[in-house]
Amino acid sequence: MSVLGDVAEKLQNAKRVAVLTGAGISAESGIATFRGKGGLWERYDVEKLATPRGLKSDPAYFWEWFEGRRREMLGAEPNPGHRALAELEKLVESFTLITQNIDRLHQRAGSKNVLELHGNAFTIYCPRDGWRMETYEPLPSIPPFCQCGAVMRPDVVLFEEPLDEGTLRSAFLAAENAEVFMSIGTSAVVYPAAYLPVEAQRNGAFLIEINPEETPLTAIADAVFQQKAGEILPKIVEKLRG
24 binds ligand OAD (CB under 6 A): yes
Nearer CB in complex with ligand OAD: 66/95? 66
Between CA 226 and CA 232 the distance in angstroms is 9
Query: Which stretches of 76-159 are assigned E, i.e. beta strand?
Result: 94-99, 114-116, 119-125, 132-134, 153-156
In terms of Cβ atoms closer than 10 Å to its own Cβ (0-12, 13-18, 19+), residue 187 is buried
Residue from 29, 111, 120, 187 touching ligand OAD (CB under 6 A): that is 187
Q: Which residues contact 103 (CB under 8 A, 6 or more apart)?
A: 26, 29, 31, 73, 76, 120, 121
Residue from 110, 127, 212, 234 touching ligand OAD (CB under 6 A): that is 212
47 binds ligand OAD (CB under 6 A): no
85 binds ligand OAD (CB under 6 A): no
Q: Return the number of other C-beta atoms located less than 10 Å from residue 19's C-beta.
A: 30
| Kind of pairing between the strands at 119-125 and 132-134 | antiparallel
73 binds ligand OAD (CB under 6 A): no
76 binds ligand OAD (CB under 6 A): no
Instruction: Select from 52-60, 66-74, 140-148, 222-230 the region that touches ligand OAD (CB under 6 A).
Output: 222-230
Instruction: Select from 5-13, 35-43, 164-172, 200-208 the region that touches ligand OAD (CB under 6 A).
Output: 35-43
The DSSP code for 204 is: T
Instruction: Select from 27-35, 60-68, 133-141, 199-207 the region that touches ligand OAD (CB under 6 A).
Output: 27-35
The answer to whether 82 is a known catalytic residue is: no
Show the CA angle centred on residue 161, arms to residues 157 and 148, nearest 5°: 75
Residue from 11, 17, 20, 28 touching ligand OAD (CB under 6 A): that is 28
Closest approach of Cβ 190 to ligand OAD, in Å?
4
100 binds ligand OAD (CB under 6 A): yes
CA distances from residue 110 to 21, 73, 129, 173 in whole angstroms, order as listed: 15, 16, 33, 23
Between CA 233 and CA 58 the distance in angstroms is 41
29 binds ligand OAD (CB under 6 A): no
234 binds ligand OAD (CB under 6 A): no
CA distances from residue 20 to 41, 43, 101, 147, 228 in whole angstroms, order as listed: 21, 26, 10, 37, 15
C-alpha 114, offset from chain centre: 9
Instruction: Select from 18-26, 61-69, 146-154, 172-180 the region that touches ligand OAD (CB under 6 A).
Output: 18-26
The residues that are catalytic are 118
Binding site for ligand OAD (CB under 6 A): 22-24, 27-28, 33-36, 39, 50, 100, 118, 157, 185-187, 190, 210-213, 215, 228-230
